[in-house]
Amino acid sequence: MKSEHQIRVEEFMRRAEQELPSGPSMPSQYIRTLRARLILEEALETVQALGVAVHLESSYGLVGVYIAGLRYFSAGDHDLVEAVDGCCDLRVVTTGTLSALGVQDESVQKIVDDANLRKFGPGSYKDVDGKWIKPPDFVPPQEALVLELQQQAQAARV
């Protein structure tokens, strides 16, 4: 099922003449690169609005960006309105990416949300950076099963 938000995002995408597949599938390299660029641009704008600077530390030069190599620093200026705008824009581009992948958002989001709440089981803890670490027996969400069901439903409609 598509959320009301996804329906609105897809209206924008149609007006922008962006591809909307009828079921789960991997789009072209061009579309994958576009979606990656949009997500990263919005994420970096949001980080900046939060007053945080991100630096990549690597002794090998630019060989790719890995989360472990990123360092975060106070950048001083912050802007509540821009941070909120960035979060909303991120939601638009990530939902648009689901649409570009032909994925209906609600069922996938629900299993991810449910899995996130299971992270608070015995053996879980908060690390020094404030990130919650999953318990040893954590079972990750099964997005593949939901995608398979969406693909089967699409095949039945064809």
What is the predicted pLDDT for the residue at 117? 93
The predicted model scores a pTM of 0.85
For range 78-107, the mean pLDDT: 96
The model's pLDDT over 105-136, given as tens digits with 9 standing for 90+, comes to: 999 999 999 999 999 989 999 999 888 999 99
CA distances (Å), origin 75, targets 34, 51, 54, 55, 78: 28, 5, 9, 11, 8
pLDDT of 41: 93
Query: Is the Cβ–Cβ distance between 110 and 2 less than 8 Å?
Result: no
Delineate the domains of the chain, giving CATH numbers in brackets: 1-103 (1.10.3420.10), 105-158 (no CATH)
Placement of tokens 């106070």 in the chain: 74
Token pair for residue 14? 């149609």
